[in-house]
Amino acid sequence: MKSFSNIIKVTLFVLALAVPCFAEKIVVEGSTTVLPIAQKAAEVFMNSNPGVDISVRGGGSGVGIASLIDGSCDIGDSSRPIKDTELDKAVSNNRSLKANVIAMDGICVIVHPSNAVSALSKQQVKDIFKGSISNWQKLGGPDEKIVAVSRDSSSGTFEAFGTLVLDGEKVRSDALMQASNQAVASTVSRTPGAIGYVGLGYLTASVKAVDVDGVKASKETVLSGKYPIGRPLFMYTNGAPKGLVKQFIDYILSKEGQKLVEEEGFVGLN
């Protein structure tokens, strides 16, 4: 009887070891902006689906789309729409890429609450962060030096701001580079002449958000596309999502998934 029990134990042990080999697996790769959403969603999704293995990698939007085209990933994360050259490559490789919008990225421009300036044009924001405008007086504010506060270059918010506002130009060299959205908001809240930018989810009462091109930053204006510093975030798939890929994307689009999106500082679609 004891030997029978041992056999059962050994069998269960072997089965436990073998389970990961039979786990359903998908690979998600691409945009560093989308990465925190994908990582968080994968973590929660795998916890509630033990037989599933979701491998999430960064690399950038171009890498994600290229990997999807060459078949080395199942979901290509991207913070921009697919380029024509990528589309041509996909078509010539018999791939029919499907865009799945999973969230919106909205970036608020913030200043110290005491600052009299409450609206700027996108061009003025660009000029400030490029270094062409360095005093608030030029913008109708006090005679005070502008202190630019930016996210560090490894962040997705920095990348989004560079694309949507700076048109690829460099941030001024004297900008204070911060490691997180909270650090940007905190620095701006403590520095009267400061201007910074944070994801919409990180807007707090300790800073003042300025209108851009006459539009107030809000979930509604980002979703409607009226706010000029916003963009959709994508998970591209090869054709309409199926199987585990569909389950994962459906999860991100669910109420629970969109809550995770907002916890990461992005704008949910719900």
Partner 1 sequence: MRKFVVAVLLLGFIVVGTGVRTSCAGEIDLLLQKLVEKGVLTAGEAQQIGTETKEQIKAEIAAGQYSSLPAWVQNTKLKGDFRLRYQMEHTSGSTSRTYRQRERIRLRLGVESKANEKLLVGIGLATGLNDGSADAARSTNATLENGFSKKIISLDYAYAQYMPNSWMTLIGGKFKNPLWEPGDLIWDTDINPEGGVIQLSRKLNSRVEGFLNAGVLVLDELSTSNHDPMLNVVQSGVKIGLSDTVSLKTALSFYNAAKVKGQKLDGTAGTNRNNGTASGNQLLDGYTTLTPAAEITVKDPLKSLGIELPMLGVFGEYVNNPQAKDNGNGYMVGCKFGAEKVSKWGDWQFAYNFAQLQQNAVLDILPDSDRVGGKTGVRAHEGILQFGLGKNTALNIDYYYGWNMASKHAGAHVAQVDWNVKF
| Chain residues in the site for partner 1 (CB under 8 A) | 29, 57-59, 70-72, 81-82, 84, 87-88, 90-92, 94, 96-101, 104, 153-154, 170, 173-174, 220, 223-225, 232, 234, 268-270
Q: Residue 161 Cβ, how far from partner 1 at the closest point, in Å?
A: 16
Angle of CA points 200, 211, 169, to nearest 5°: 75
Q: 133: how many CB neighbours lie within 10 A of its CB?
A: 20
Decide whether 72 or 118 has the Cβ nearer to partner 1: 72
Q: Which of 219, 187, 213, 223 has its CA nearest to residue 110?
A: 187
Q: 70: how many CB neighbours lie within 10 A of its CB?
A: 11
Decide whether 52 or 223 has the Cβ nearer to partner 1: 223
Give CA–CA dist 1/99, Å, rounded.
59
Q: DSSP letter at 34?
A: T
Give CA–CA dist 158/133, Å, rounded.
20
- What secondary structure, in 3-state letters, does 144-173 show? CECEEEEECCCCHHHHHHHHHCCCCCCCCC
Decide whether 29 or 127 has the Cβ nearer to partner 1: 29
Q: Residue 204 Cβ, how far from partner 1 at the closest point, in Å?
A: 23
Q: Residue 113 Cβ, how far from partner 1 at the closest point, in Å?
A: 28
Decide whether 9 or 169 has the Cβ nearer to partner 1: 169
Q: Residue 146 Cβ, how far from partner 1 at the closest point, in Å?
A: 17
Give CA–CA dist 176/150, Å, rounded.
6
Decide whether 11 or 270 has the Cβ nearer to partner 1: 270
Q: Is the dihedral of CA 200, 202, 206, 207 positive or negative?
A: negative
Q: Residue 88 Cβ, how far from partner 1 at the closest point, in Å?
A: 6
Q: Residue 81 Cβ, how far from partner 1 at the closest point, in Å?
A: 6
Decide whether 43 or 220 has the Cβ nearer to partner 1: 220
